[in-house]
């Protein structure tokens, strides 16, 4: 599949909303830094690496294990060098939920503090249950109340956001996916706000002298992300109920936050994500849906795909249905906020056609 370059930002930033602190308590067992030392941070992908760099500034050294679109975190073969890098880390940031399962083995025996992004999502709390998970959910509720956030992405459209995971639990078991959870949580801005706050808290525990710097940087970033949440809330009111076809679960949470209704046949997205053949009957249903005139846009993953995805894209082109591609990684020197706004802009532009 040809990769499509994300368009420049054209959406205006909504007014930043006041944030109340809801960061997770920092992990114990991490030592304060010697003056002048840089905190060693290792992230599974450059999405989380970029967040750590923005919060940590010149007090951290960040290594992102996956920064190239040619590498698939689902099947990444970690090296001995990767393990050594993780073992030397003070802080490890992973996605979790089966997306970057290689991180579990790499950090085995490590004393580093660990942030697992998926654990900050409401879907995770609902799926896993337990006291710790519900603590995260309660924090999210308080955070949402402070922002006036209606939590549409976590409640009204929870089933849409999880598309391709719950239905494909058997296939996903090979990647340790959690049933009912769309692990692509970096497309849930509300979850990322919690991750940013957690990064600041963990960095402060490791390097107390940097607390003021970390707090200031985190507040600036979360203000910016709150603005993006406002943009999505506005889009949700405008686009709610519009139908799209999502070929792979990657953009599911973003589509749900924008109020979109995914009408791809059950089983299509999960098969594509896992690299399995789409059942012939499912493929025929998929082509019929795209050709029916109901679909306003086809949403794809620029880094994955196959014959069946190409068939759907070809059908979309024949039907003059816009195709919007999303990536799993940031471009070099691109911030998370820039990346998300570009994705939102592309989505909104396609649906306005």
> What single string gives the DSSP state of each residue in 3-70?
--PPPPP-SPPPPPPP----PPPPPSSPPPPPTTPPEEEEEEEHHHHHHHHHHHGGGEEEEEEE--TT
Which pLDDT value is given to residue 341? 97
What the block records as the tokens of 322 is 């816009």
Which pLDDT value is given to residue 122? 84
pLDDT confidence bin for 11, thresholds 50/70/90 = very low
Tens of pLDDT, residues 312-343: 999 999 999 999 999 999 998 899 999 999 99
Q: Is the pLDDT of residue 169 over 80?
A: no
The contacts of residue 60 (CB under 8 Å, 6+ apart) are 38, 39, 40, 41, 52, 53, 203
The Cα 258–Cα 245 span in angstroms is 14
- Are the CB atoms for 251 and 269 separated by under 8 Å? no
Mean pLDDT of all residues in 77-99: 95
The Cα 88–Cα 220 span in angstroms is 29
Q: In the block, which residue shows the tokens 């609902």?
A: 126
Mean pLDDT of all residues in 290-299: 97
3-class DSSP assignment, residue 173: helix
Mean pLDDT of all residues in 277-295: 97
What the block records as the tokens of 69 is 């679109």
Q: Is the pLDDT of residue 33 over 50?
A: yes
Distance of CA 350 to the CA centre of its chain: 21
Q: Is the pLDDT of residue 287 over 70?
A: yes
| Closest by CA position to 64, among listed 53, 75, 77, 79 | 53
C-alpha distances (whole Å) from 254 to each of 64, 287, 307, 337, 345 are 23, 23, 25, 14, 12
Tens of pLDDT, residues 37-52: 999 999 999 999 999 9
- Are the CB atoms for 46 and 64 separated by under 8 Å? yes
CATH topology agreement for domains 39-229 and 231-352: yes
Q: Is the pLDDT of residue 3 over 60?
A: no
Q: What is the end-to-end Cα distance of the chain in Å, rounded? A: 23
| Closest by CA position to 247, among listed 352, 329, 323 | 323
Q: Is the pLDDT of residue 65 over 90?
A: yes
What the block records as the tokens of 347 is 């989505």
The Cα 118–Cα 93 span in angstroms is 11
The Cα 16–Cα 227 span in angstroms is 5
The Cα 171–Cα 157 span in angstroms is 23
Choose which CATH entry (3.50.40.10, 3.40.50.1980, 2.60.120.260, 3.90.1580.10) describes domain 231-352: 3.40.50.1980
Which pLDDT value is given to residue 179? 66
Mean pLDDT of all residues in 45-70: 95
Give the start-end residues of each E strand in 68-201: 91-94, 113-116
Partners of 147 in beta bridges: none
- Are the CB atoms for 199 and 43 separated by under 8 Å? no
* Average of per-residue pLDDT values in the chain: 81
3-class DSSP assignment, residue 154: coil
Q: Is the pLDDT of residue 204 over 60?
A: yes
Q: Is the pLDDT of residue 24 over 70?
A: no
Tens of pLDDT, residues 89-108: 999 999 999 999 999 999 99
Which pLDDT value is given to residue 274? 84
pLDDT confidence bin for 235, thresholds 50/70/90 = very high
| Architecture in CATH for domain 39-229 | 3-Layer(aba) Sandwich (3.40)
C-alpha distances (whole Å) from 195 to each of 24, 156, 192 are 9, 23, 5
**Is the CA virtual torsion 291, 153, 136, 222 positive or negative?**
positive
Low-confidence winner among 4-18, 56-70, 311-325 (lowest mean pLDDT): 4-18
Which pLDDT value is given to residue 286? 98
**Is the CA virtual torsion 14, 24, 343, 246 positive or negative?**
negative
The Cα 222–Cα 17 span in angstroms is 9
- Are the CB atoms for 328 and 343 separated by under 8 Å? no
Domains of the chain, by residue range, sit at: 39-229, 231-352
Mean pLDDT of all residues in 267-275: 90
- Are the CB atoms for 186 and 97 separated by under 8 Å? no
Q: Is the pLDDT of residue 304 over 80?
A: no
Q: Is the pLDDT of residue 278 over 70?
A: yes
The Cα 116–Cα 161 span in angstroms is 19
Q: Is the pLDDT of residue 1 over 70?
A: no
Mean pLDDT of all residues in 174-180: 58
Q: Is the pLDDT of residue 205 over 70?
A: yes
Which pLDDT value is given to residue 129? 65
Tens of pLDDT, residues 117-139: 999 998 776 777 644 443 544 45
């Amino acid at each position: 599949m040809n990769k499509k370059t994300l368009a420049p930002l054209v959406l205006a930033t909504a007014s930043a909303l006041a944030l109340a602190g809801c960061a997770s308590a920092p992990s114990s067992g991490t030592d304060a830094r010697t003056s002048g030392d840089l905190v060693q941070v290792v992230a599974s992908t450059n999405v989380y690496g970029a967040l750590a760099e923005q919060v940590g500034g010149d007090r951290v050294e960040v290594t992102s294990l996956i920064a190239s679109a040619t590498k698939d975190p689902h099947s990444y073969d970690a090296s001995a060098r990767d393990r050594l890098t993780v073992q030397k880390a003070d802080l490890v940031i992973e996605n979790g939920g089966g997306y970057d399962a290689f991180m579990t083995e790499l950090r085995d025996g490590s004393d580093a503090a660990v942030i697992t992004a998926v654990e900050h999502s409401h879907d995770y709390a609902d799926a896993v249950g337990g006291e710790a998970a519900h603590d995260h959910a309660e924090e999210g509720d308080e955070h949402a109340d402070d922002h006036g956030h209606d939590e549409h992405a976590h409640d009204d459209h929870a089933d849409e956001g999880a598309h391709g995971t719950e239905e494909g639990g058997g296939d996903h078991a090979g990647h340790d996916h959690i049933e009912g959870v769309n692990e692509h949580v970096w497309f849930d801005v509300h979850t990322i706000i919690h991750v940013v706050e957690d990064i600041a808290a963990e960095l402060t525990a490791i390097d107390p002298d940097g607390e003021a710097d970390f707090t200031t940087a985190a507040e600036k970033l979360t203000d910016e992300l709150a603005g993006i949440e406002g943009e999505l809330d506005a889009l949700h009111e405008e686009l709610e109920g519009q139908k799209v076809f999502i070929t792979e679960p990657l953009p599911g949470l973003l589509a749900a936050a924008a109020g979109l209704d995914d009408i791809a046949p059950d089983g299509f997205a999960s098969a594509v994500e896992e690299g399995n053949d789409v059942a012939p009957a499912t493929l025929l249903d998929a082509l019929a849906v795209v050709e029916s005139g109901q679909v306003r846009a086809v949403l794809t993953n620029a880094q994955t795909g196959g014959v069946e995805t190409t068939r759907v894209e070809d059908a979309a082109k024949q039907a003059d249905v816009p195709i919007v591609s999303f990536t799993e990684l940031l471009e070099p020197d691109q911030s998370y906020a820039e990346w998300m706004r570009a994705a939102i802009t592309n989505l909104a532009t396609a649906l306005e056609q």
